[in-house]
């Protein structure tokens, strides 16, 4: 079976679940087993690239850090550019940024203000959507930079945490390769 023929259920079987990490009661969904499996990684990128292409992506944006893994690979497969959304202080130029709330405190995301042409159709790609805080902040930052951002793609959705629903409320269509309930 070739990589592009691995189904989403095949891919889901490649995700390792680590109980009680990072604290008791959490079922951590570890993608390292997926990205370490050549056919699984290739199939994941293939499925995501099909979705991004259908959405008319002109650029792919990925959030640090695992969004870089999947987003850059999708961009390469589609033959388009990749925009990294970074943690603060990682870019050697003047940046635009956004502060956003975490459960305890705040964080910041930054990007190159010239990475996107005004009106350019950008699709966000990341490994996992949980509460949606980072994805919503990234979407706001990309839109500030001039992106038309109507689609976000994730390998994993944890629907009980509500992140995908929050993105949809912000006018962003969400597609995922798999879901894990009860997390």
Cβ atoms of 122 and 59 closer than 8 Å? yes
Q: Where are the alpha helices (DSSP H) in 79-149?
A: 133-144
Nearest in space to 45 (alpha carbons), one of 74, 69, 65? 74
* C-alpha–C-alpha distance, residues 33 and 159, integer Å: 21
* C-alpha–C-alpha distance, residues 97 and 88, integer Å: 8
Handedness of CA 28, 66, 130, 173 (dihedral sign): negative
Residue 143: partners with Cβ closer than 8 Å, 6 or more residues away: 149
Is residue 16 part of the annotated active site? The answer reads no
* C-alpha–C-alpha distance, residues 59 and 36, integer Å: 26
Annotated catalytic residue, options 8, 50, 64, 66: 66
Is residue 64 part of the annotated active site? The answer reads no
Cβ atoms of 116 and 58 closer than 8 Å? no
- Positions annotated as catalytic residues are 66, 103
């Amino acid at each position: 079976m070739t990589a592009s023929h691995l189904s989403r259920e095949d891919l889901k079987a490649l995700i390792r679940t680590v109980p009680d990490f990072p604290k008791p009661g959490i079922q951590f969904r570890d993608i390292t087993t997926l990205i370490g499996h050549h056919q699984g990684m290739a199939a994941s990128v293939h499925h995501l690239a099909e979705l991004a292409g259908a959405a008319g992506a002109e650029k792919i944006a990925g959030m640090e850090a695992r969004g870089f893994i999947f987003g850059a690979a999708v961009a390469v497969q589609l033959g388009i550019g990749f925009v990294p959304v970074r943690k603060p202080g990682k870019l050697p130029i003047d940046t635009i940024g956004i502060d956003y709330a975490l459960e305890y405190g705040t964080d910041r995301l930054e990007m190159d203000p010239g990475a996107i042409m005004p009106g350019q159709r950008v699709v966000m790609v990341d490994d996992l959507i949980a509460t949606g805080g980072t994805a919503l902040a990234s979407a706001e930052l990309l839109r500030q930079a001039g992106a038309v951002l109507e689609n976000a793609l994730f390998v994993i959705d944890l629907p009980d945490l509500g992140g995908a629903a929050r993105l949809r409320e912000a006018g962003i269509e969400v597609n995922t390769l798999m879901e894990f309930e009860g997390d």
